[in-house]
Amino acid sequence: MKTILAFLAVLAAFVAAPFALGPYYTTLIIPILAYAIALTGLNLLFGYGGLLSFGHAMFLAIGAYASAVMGAKLGVRAFEAQLIVAMLASGTVAALIGLLCLRYTTIFFSMLTLAFGMIFHSFLFKFYDLTGGESGISVPRPSLFGASFASMSKTAFLVGPFYWYALGLFSVMFLLMALIVSSPFGLALKAGRDNERKTSFLGVPVFKVRYVAFILSGIYCAVGGAVLAVSIGAADPELSYWTQSGNMIFIIILGGLGQLFGPIVGAVSFTLLQDTLMANTEYWRFALGAILALIIIFAPRGILGLITRALEWRRR
Amino acid sequence: MTEMLLRALNITKRYGAFTALAGVSFDISKGEVVAVVGPNGAGKTTLVNTLSGLFMPDEGGVMFEGRPVAGLGASALALRGLARSFQLVTIYPSFTVAEMISVGAFARAGQTFRLLRPSATCRREQAQVREVAAAFGLEHRLETTCSALSQGEKKLVDIASALTLRPRLMLLDEPTSGISSADKDRIMETLLAAAQRLGVESLVLVEHDMELIARYATRVIGLKAGSLVADMPPDAFFRDPAVIETLVGKVPHNALG
């Protein structure tokens, strides 16, 4: 119940945003939604499953390239079809590398995912015919539910139909995740994070549970990546670079690790923070690093943790 | 002739040059409460880990219900009816008691991969959780976070979570370690009553407290330096000064009562 109310509050803020902020800022919100979708998936693996992946930018890129290849090379403009291909491609890749990566946990898992991410990054560079190499592929405007919106300007399309589409997509993906983390599967995943051996002696096949979480997180990242590609108008190899994976982890920790609203709170805060810092100082990376350190030391449950604590304090 | 549940046949386990278990054999039948005793380093935990399939013996084997345990995997074995607890209390700190107990209930019902239904709305499993909690006297604690429980309650929740699987045989590695001696008796009594109520057929427990063994065990297995040096009913065990000397060193005289 609390989850639904909080979700409605978040939804209301995103519904009001385009009217309150105008087109320029609205175009900045679409990447926030894209990251929120992707990170909602990564949070399942990292926050609830305790498995820190340094390679999930790969799945973000798979989603972006699926949308780009479908739209630009195969002429399939229907965004729904692009999303389905993105999810299938990402799910397949996750199913393959998950089998290898999940044989390990802790730092070994992280390093293996990092390695696969790097391999994928260089694949994007080398396979020029498919991926466009260094310059990537530009993403033509997709059609949404069969409507092509050909008469609209690019900005009008993004802040109009596409914004609402992305918000709808985020809502569906978020609510599905709300069910997943409170399901018997979600419990088993968290149990395996807290104590793998104990959990397997409770009849839970921990590897299989993690495997499913890994595939789901890959699928979520691909959906986020497809939305991101449309909003920036291109799929390029930097999307899969390991610093991108690092940013994704940063955003989850900033928002609140292992909490359902962590990714959306993190994505909003990160964008605001980065924008403010970049506008005011050339040392913005230094400032971001310092903030990450402070969050980990003083607010390990992220901004959401601070909000929860403040609410509890006021109630007293 | 009672039904045999578990058979350990000549199990030997080595760590490098050190032999932790040297050809240990015994059977465990339905209805037994078996206490495993022995000095530190005798191989008690190695025995429990081998019986539960966590360690592969270098020689010999373990059969549960007539089938080998080796290679089965912990989760399959647990679902088949052999559950265990660990020496150190293992709880999931952020879980409520109900959530902790429900993990096994969902596993037993084959619902672990149910993704789109909140676990709190699964009525059949939640009824089982309440039943198990009630057997342990934890029904008023269902919504308490595990990390907020007392040490004794943590132990009980830990064991309750495994008994939700309704195992036939339960292995308990020092169920009363870390518990004040005043509480040990109460914990043991609760545990045995709950196990009986939930249909557990046999218990194997590693235990140091001779008074508890005298009171609750139906059989004592003594290990020393990896070898089986005693396997007898408790009254025979406590009447044999040589065996006691070997395994325990000294005995509180009231245990002999």
d(CA B234, CA B201): 19
Q: Which residue has the tokens 């506008």?
A: A279
Count interface pairs A-B at CB distance under 8 A: 104
Indicate the number of domains in chain B: 1
Phi, psi at residue A310, to the nearest 5°?
-65, -40
User: In this predicted structure, what is the pLDDT of residue B183?
Assistant: 86
User: In this predicted structure, what is the pLDDT of residue A303?
Assistant: 92
Which of A161, A181, A184, A158 lies closest to A28, judged by CA?
Answer: A158
Give me the residues paired with residue B36 across strands. B206, B221
Least confident of A46-55, A120-129, B204-213, B214-223: A120-129
For residue range A61-96, what is the model confidence (pLDDT) as tens digits?
Answer: 999 999 999 998 898 999 999 999 999 999 999 999
Helix (H) or strand (E) holding A306: helix A302-315
A61, B51, B55, B224 from B12: Cα distances, Å: 52, 12, 11, 13
Which of B65, B61, B45 lies closest to B172, judged by CA?
Answer: B45
Residue A47 sits at the vertex; the CA angle it makes with A43 and A50, to the nearest 5 degrees, is 125
> Is the Cβ–Cβ distance between B169 and B84 less than 8 Å?
no
Cα radius of gyration (chain B): 18
Q: Which residue has the tokens 């530190």?
A: B40
Which site among B111, B112, B147 would you substitute to test the A interface, given the most A Cβ atoms closer than 10 Å to its Cβ?
Answer: B112
For residue range B82-123, what is the model confidence (pLDDT) as tens digits?
Answer: 999 998 899 999 999 999 999 999 999 999 999 999 999 999
CA A259 to chain centre: 14
d(CA B13, CA B11): 7
Residue B40 has pLDDT above 90, yes or no: no
More confident residue, A306 or B181: A306
B111 touches chain A (CB under 8 A): yes
Share of chain A above pLDDT 90, in %: 68
B123 touches chain A (CB under 8 A): no
Mean pLDDT, residues A116-145 taken together: 87
User: Domain range spanning residue B230?
Assistant: 4-256
Which of A134, A275, A166 lies closest to A231, judged by CA?
Answer: A166
Helix (H) or strand (E) holding B108: helix B97-108
Which site among A3, A183, A217 would you substitute to test the B interface, given the most B Cβ atoms closer than 10 Å to its Cβ?
Answer: A183
State whether B112 and A198 contact (CB < 8 Å).
no
B147 touches chain A (CB under 8 A): no
State whether A184 and B125 contact (CB < 8 Å).
yes
Q: Greatest CA span in chain B, whole angstroms?
A: 61
- Chain A residues with CB under 8 Å of B165 CB are 202-203
Q: Which residue has the tokens 């949070």?
A: A43
For residue range B161-197, what is the model confidence (pLDDT) as tens digits?
Answer: 999 999 999 999 998 888 888 888 899 999 999 999 9
Q: What is the mean pLDDT of chain B?
A: 91
For residue range B200-230, what is the model confidence (pLDDT) as tens digits?
Answer: 999 999 998 888 999 999 999 999 999 999 9
Crossing angle of helices A184-194 and B97-108, in 10° steps, is 110
Which site among A182, A201, A217, A301 would you substitute to test the B interface, given the most B Cβ atoms closer than 10 Å to its Cβ?
Answer: A201
The conformation of residue B137, written as its DSSP 8-state character, comes to: T
- Residue A191's pLDDT band (cuts 50, 70, 90): very high
User: In this predicted structure, what is the pLDDT of residue B250?
Assistant: 62
Residue B256 has pLDDT above 60, yes or no: no
Share of chain A above pLDDT 70, in %: 100
For residue range B138-155, what is the model confidence (pLDDT) as tens digits?
Answer: 999 999 999 999 988 999
Give me the residues paired with residue B34 across strands. B204, B219
CATH number of residue B176's parent domain: 3.40.50.300
For residue range A234-277, what is the model confidence (pLDDT) as tens digits?
Answer: 898 889 888 889 999 999 999 999 999 999 999 999 998 888 88
User: In this predicted structure, what is the pLDDT of residue B140?
Assistant: 95
d(CA B173, CA A264): 44
- Residue B257's pLDDT band (cuts 50, 70, 90): very low
Neighbours of A273 (CB within 10 A): 17
Question: What is the complex's ipTM, to 2 decimals?
Answer: 0.92
State whether A195 and B93 contact (CB < 8 Å).
no
Residue B252 has pLDDT above 70, yes or no: no
> Is the Cβ–Cβ distance between B248 and B37 less than 8 Å?
yes
A200 touches chain B (CB under 8 A): yes
For residue range B42-92, what is the model confidence (pLDDT) as tens digits?
Answer: 999 999 999 999 899 999 999 999 899 888 889 999 999 999 999 889 999
Give me the residues paired with residue A295 across strands. none
Q: What is the mean pLDDT of chain A?
A: 92
State whether B86 and A205 contact (CB < 8 Å).
no
B54 touches chain A (CB under 8 A): yes
For residue range A146-186, what is the model confidence (pLDDT) as tens digits?
Answer: 888 888 888 889 999 999 999 999 999 999 999 999 999 99
Residue A295 has pLDDT above 90, yes or no: no
User: In this predicted structure, what is the pLDDT of residue B194?
Assistant: 95
- Residue B3's pLDDT band (cuts 50, 70, 90): confident
Least confident of A211-215, B37-41, B100-104, B123-127: B37-41
Residue B87 corresponds to which amino acid? Q
